[in-house]
A = this chain, B = another copy of it.
Amino acid sequence: MSIKPDIRIQQEDFDINAEIKKLTQGRTDVGAVVTFSGLCRGEGDTLSALELEHYPGMAEAEIIRIAEQGIERFGLLGISAIHRYGKIEPGENIVLVIATSPHRQASFDGANFLMDFLKTRAPFWKKEHLATGKEGDWVDAKDADDDALHKWEE
């Protein structure tokens, strides 16, 4: 595979314009760019932050593996993902996925596919910090996220 996914796990926020530029600048074969960004929600002001824990090494490896499947399956020209860890407040970015391709559907599918697998297959966990100042619970895995994987069964 000649196209390498660009995958980063980091504490800092990301710059979507800059990340798009890395995948498009100096080339004229990209016709479609889809970005997904996932933000921390405040859950009606009950949440003060989410704390994201990850398994270093395995997190990168799993996302790269899934991203490579996406490149192959949808004929992507490029794919990037940035997943943040640490304490993230409502309104802040958690995750970014970008897929590029000649035509639009491949980019939509590539980004959607990577997000669905990231939700349930990348070793990240979220703990809630409550607006009351208390530590909340660890976020439970959702059946809906497992179900979302079915749409990619061939």
Contact = CB atoms under 8 A, between A and B. Distances in A.
Interface extent on A, as a size class?
A: 35 or more
Residue of A16, A20, A28, A32 with highest tally of chain B CB at under 10 A: A28
A33 B12 CA distance: 19
A128 to B, nearest CB: 14
Given A24-B91, A108-B112, A148-B105, A31 B41 contact: yes
B38 A31 contact: yes
How many copies of the polypeptide does the oligomer hold? Answer: 2
A38 B34 CA distance: 9
A37 interface: yes
Interface in A17-47: 17, 20, 24-42, 45
Closest 8 pairs between A and B when the two form their complex, measured CB to CB? A28-B42, A28-B90, A31-B41, A35-B35, A33-B37, A17-B17, A28-B91, A108-B112
